[in-house]
Structure 1
Amino acid sequence: MKLLFLPMAIFLMALLYSSVGHGGASGYLAAMALFGVPPEIMRPSALTLNLIVSLIAALQFYREGHFSWRLFSMFAAASIPAAYLGGSIHLPTRVYKPLVGCVLLFAAWRLWTSLRGGSEEVKDPPLALALLLGGLIGLLSGLTGVGGGIFLSPLLILAGWATARQTAGISAAFIFVNSAAGLMGNPASLRLLPSSFPFWAAAALIGGLIGSELGRRRLPPRTLRRVLALVLVVAGLKMIFG
């Protein structure tokens, strides 16, 4: 049963998350936990799947012009070293997971209630503030074991620093570099990938291709924001109750 239904769950997570420029690590972790995958396998598997899907999404949104190197670099410059630092800090699970979950649920609520505005006008963030927030997001990413897109996406949209599609493209690249940094910090963990991982990777690849195609061309900005709000609710509930 696991050999069939877990790849299906990974496919659905990849499709949903990639449509808003996310890699889907929190969704893969939830799916693997549901099917009883051992914890030592979950983290490297989720990060590797994250790399596949976020790279697909980043390339798709970049090809359509929904990307800003300047904005990406402003946040990524501080997030990558901070993610290394976060990975070395071990907070009690009972402390950080409910806290992060509540933050994500609040962000989902703010995104949903802001849908009535519909404006795609953007402004540049102050460099110092972007570096500070990027560092904080990187730290949270290292602490929680996700790529950071679930924190960056609502921030970019709610602050008016990027359009919905630009947010998807920037978040996908942001997730890719943070996930790569996490894996490079512990390359030995890749030896723990199970023999069934190629099936998981294929499912993520197909879901990522379909989801990113929907996100970059077919879903209107308001729908993208609704999907992102749904993703944040799923991730937030997973953090609190997972």
Structure 2
Amino acid sequence: MGHWEIFLLFLIIAFVYSSVGFGGGSSYLAVLAMYSLPYQEIRLTALICNVIVVVGGVYIYIKNKQISWKKVLPITLVSVPMAYLGAILKISQETFFLILGITLIIAAILLWIKTETKNEEKVSQESKSAIVRNSFLGGGIGFLSGLVGIGGGIFLSPLLNLMKWDTPRKIAATSSVFILVNSVSGIFGQLSKLSVDIDYFRILSLCLAVLIGGQIGSRMSLKWNPLVIKRMTAVLVLVAGINVLTKYW
């Protein structure tokens, strides 16, 4: 595999993100976008790596009963088919990189914003209007996720924080589930129209990197500051977004 440094970068990203309960999909995409790789491979790789890293976190959230399914289901049920539709939509490489660049810049802004969330004791029940709103929100982010090749948590989590949707823990759990189901849906969409130019050895190598990094990070439980991680990611994603726009547009 050419560009062996990508393997190391993916391992480090998975290690850091898994230690604070994140997936790291946006950073995988940001790194891959800086190399002249087939855009279909970029999307598929980021989605598979997302699943590998986040599935352990989802299991822990479910085991610890930290997921409010009544609030999660309206978001995810609509997002899954929309992510698949976004993944199978035929777009040119130029259009993909244009959308990717804009998406990364918007994501960087959302990641940088510091938000206050609900207190554990002040969480209210979902109203019917809130369920409809959450469904539309999940569907829109799901479609964009499938189109670009991310799980969508990079958009969902900051928006839910801005909306004071729930406690930080519940938002993190919801985002993990959202990332997992949308990544799986996006993978199925990508597999339905793969190109022969895809380097499967490179994809498997990067999957191994995030598996190693993710397993080590999740077991070490380091005391990283989530805000610092978010803002470091924001800078990386912003640079990648600007680089994509200047390179391909």
Q: Which bracket does the TM-score occupy, shorter chain normalised?
A: 0.7 to 0.9
CA distance in 2, matches of 1:93, 1:234: 19
Q: 1:16 to 1:122 in 2, by over 3 A?
A: farther
1:224 matches 2:230: no
Q: 1:24 to 1:190 in 2, by over 3 A?
A: farther
Residue 128 of structure 1 and its aligned partner are, at CA, apart by 1.0
Residue 56 of structure 1 and its aligned partner are, at CA, apart by 1.8
Q: 1:13 to 1:213 in 2, by over 3 A?
A: same
Match of 2:240 in 1: 238
Partner deviation per Cα, 1:125-168 (whole Å, 9 max, x = no partner): 51111111111111221232211111111122222223223222
SS of structure 1 residue aligned to 2:12: helix
2:83 is matched by which residue type in structure 1? A
Q: 1:11 to 1:144 in 2, by over 3 A?
A: same
TM-score normalized with structure 2 length: 0.78
* Counterparts of residues 1-242 of structure 1 (less than 5 Å): 2=2, 4-34=4-34, 36-87=36-87, 88=89, 90=91, 92-93=95-96, 95-111=98-114, 114=115, 119-120=119-120, 121-125=122-126, 126-187=130-191, 189=194, 192-213=198-219, 219=223, 223-242=225-244
Q: Does the CA contact (< 8 Å) of 1:101 and 1:235 recur in 2?
A: yes
Residue 200 of structure 1 and its aligned partner are, at CA, apart by 2.1
CA distance in 1, matches of 2:118, 2:138: 26
- Structure 1: where are the runs of 5+ without partners? none
Match of 2:247 in 1: none
Q: Does the CA contact (< 8 Å) of 1:60 and 1:212 recur in 2?
A: no
Partner deviation per Cα, 1:193-221 (whole Å, 9 max, x = no partner): 5224443222211222233456xx6648x
Q: 1:67 to 1:225 in 2, by over 3 A?
A: farther
RMSD over equivalenced CA pairs, Å: 3.1
Runs of 4+ with >6 A deviation? none
Q: Does the CA contact (< 8 Å) of 1:109 and 1:229 recur in 2?
A: yes
Q: 1:201 to 1:106 in 2, by over 3 A?
A: closer
Residue 29 of structure 1 and its aligned partner are, at CA, apart by 2.7
SS of structure 1 residue aligned to 2:201: coil
TM-score normalized with structure 1 length: 0.79
Q: Which moved more, 1:12-21 or 1:129-138?
A: 12-21
Q: 1:209 to 1:64 in 2, by over 3 A?
A: farther
Q: Does the CA contact (< 8 Å) of 2:84 and 2:188 recur in 1?
A: no
Q: Does the CA contact (< 8 Å) of 2:79 and 2:138 recur in 1?
A: yes
Q: Does the CA contact (< 8 Å) of 2:43 and 2:150 recur in 1?
A: no
CA distance in 2, matches of 1:57, 1:190: 31
SS of structure 1 residue aligned to 2:107: helix
CA distance in 2, matches of 1:202, 1:94: 26
Q: Does the CA contact (< 8 Å) of 1:8 and 1:203 recur in 2?
A: yes
- Structure 2: where are the runs of 5+ without partners? 245-249
